[in-house]
Each structure stands twice: as C-alpha cells, then as structure tokens.
Amino acid sequence: MSWNALKAASLCGLALLPAAGLAAAPDEPRVEVVVRGLANPWGLAFLPDGRALVTERAGRLRIVNLRTASLSGPIGGLPSIAARGQGGLLGLALHPDFARTREVFLCFAEARDGGVGSSVFRAKLAGNGSMLEEGQVIFRQNPAGSTTRHFGCRLVFDRQGNLFITLGDRGNMEAEAQNLANHIGKVIRIRTDGSVPPDNPFIGRADARPEIWSYGHRNVQGATLHPETGQLYTIEHGARGGDEINRPEKGKNYGWPVITYGIDYSGVKIGSGTHREGMEQPLFYWDPSIAPSGGTFYTGDKFPAWRGHLLTGALAAGLMVRLEFRNGQVTGENRYLEARRERIRDVVQGPDGYVYLLTDESDGQMLRLVPR
C-alpha cells in the first residue's frame, strides 16, 4: 500500500487498510462444523425454533437442524430457477413477524424474455417445513440481462417492515447503474406485496422507477441493518480493488461506474476518478479486493469485544473480517480464518449468540464460531 493511497484515504475521511500482511487476530475463534453436504450455499436465516433455512445456488432450499447436526431434503414449492454462472437461488429473508405469517422471501435468478434477471418470491413455509405454499413473484428486475453475473440479491427488512433488495449491474450494463429508468445497479425498497412505500425517494418522477432507494451500485453482496440506528449498510464488490462498505441513504448516488477506487480486471482505468460532486464516498474500501460477501453487525454475548462491529465474509481472500466502528465510521479491521482459505459466502449471528458461516463450495459447510 503506497503512502499516497493511505494519505488520500485519511484526507477523505475514509478507512482503507491493506489486504495483505495483517497479523492474525489475537481473538481467533474456534471453528466447529455444523453440517456438510451443501451445494454452494448462499443465504442463511434462523427460524424461531432455532433451526436454519439455507439456500443453495443450484436451486434448493433446505433446513439445518442444529441440535441433531442434520440436513433436510429439498423443500418443495420453489419457482423455476435459472442456476447458471453466478445465478441461482441466492438471498433469503424471513418476514419480521414470521412466527405469525410464516412468510419467506427468496431472491433468485429467473429466465424470462431478454435473458435472466433477479426476482423476489414470497411464500409461506408449511408447518412441517417440507413445502412452500401460496408462492408468488412480487418483484422482477427490469430489464433482464444476457449475462449470468452480478445479480446482487441480498434481502433485508427495514424497521418499518419494508424490504430492501440489492441488484447488480449484471456485469455488462455498468452505465445503467446511473439510469433511474431501470433497476440495474440499484438498491430497491418495496412492501411485502411488491407495492411501493409512499416515502420512497423517486415517487412521482416520470424518469425514475419508484421502487429505487439508491443507485450507482456495482454488485452488492451483503446487506444488514445497524442494530441501534436501523440504517441500511451494504457490502459491495468492486472490480480490481474498490470493494466498498456503504450506508445507502434514500435517493443518493453511490457513483458506479463514474467514480470508483478500483480498476478494470485488464488494468484499464474505470470512470473519471474517485470523486465527483453529487456522488457519495464509501465508508470504507479494500484495495486489493477481498470479494466481500454477506455480513451482519454483531450484538451477541459470546464475543463481547465484537459488539457493534460489522462481520463480513470474503470469497477471494477466503476469510472473515471484523470491522470496528466508532461514531458511524470504520476505525479498524481484524481478520480471521485466513489459514482455512475457504470462500465465506454468508455470515449470520445465531439466536444463541454464536456466529454462523456458509462456505461457497460444491461440498459446502455451515460453520459455527465459538470463543477459545
């Protein structure tokens, strides 16, 4: 990492830490394997009874029983899923009042006219957990795309019960992330029936889709709410360098592909630089990239020193990161599990206060982190 890069980050109020050469964290946790045999697991959510729903990119939804360390067969009632490239069955979220509604929300790649696009499916989990019932697609990214890359597809509910959906630039429609007339490279906010909340920022504009919350995103792979403020935080893939942590606010532009701290994989410059008036700066970025994934703020009692910090997996780097926060800013980075070199796809806090991870492999695992 050059002095100029570090100085520039400091002047801009950004946290930027090198991706190599960091010492192992002194609080390295112990890793337990809960289950094996998951095919490229992608999303994880805990049911009220302590079991966990897991999506597999190949197009299966399954239940993990933590008490018996067992894995159910595939749950029925899913929509038709285009499991191609980076696409398939991806993010999931439970209705905030799941104990009453039994509603599950799934983000998936759907084949349709024009190619493949990210869609969101709502259904009820049957009492025995073997079937989804009353399923319907409540949102479709428009337009569909010709590639099988950059679907986004993380789901998270806000405090008002509205659903945030992250949508990627599809890998070949970068410029459309700046176009408010479509859903490419956007964060979307809808109600649970697919309708638009009346306080969304672009309602009433003829040149904008009313579902849009924020824009100028490349490929958001993680999304979570801050446990105290309720604000949305996102974890976003850059190109070569420039992975970002953002706090998307309503109606704001996060710059892609006009401004970025990354470069093209070929080494060619992207956009016009790192700053432009009217475009937001990330809270934090990585250079070199780590390919961050799903994440969460930790609030449990098993790792007291981690409380209020953001945990995120990393695919290319094969580790988990803990970002320390103070007054809404990143003040430090800690890295874990580097020796394992496993692609961490999702990081979720369990109801027991332990941290659970999914490894993105053809024989993927659910892991549990416990203090040593």
* Residues carrying an active site annotation: 150
Closest CA to 345 of 90, 16, 34, 64: 90
Cα-Cα end-to-end distance for the chain: 32
Distance CA 39, CA 42 (A): 9
In the chain, alpha helices (H): 3-11, 98-101
Closest to 197 measured CA to CA, from 241, 162, 152? 162
Contacts of 162 (CB under 8 A, 6+ apart): 189, 190, 191, 192, 197
CB 240 within 8 A of CB 279: no
Query: What value, to the nearest 5°, has the Cα angle with vertex 159 and ends 155 and 164?
Result: 25
Q: Using CA atoms, how far apart are residues 4 and 9, in angstroms rounded to an integer?
A: 9
> Residue 177: which of 275, 258, 241, 75 has the closest Cα?
258
Residues with Cβ within 8 Å of residue 171, at least 6 apart in sequence: 145, 147, 149, 150
Distance between CA atoms of 371 and 353, rounded to whole angstroms? 11
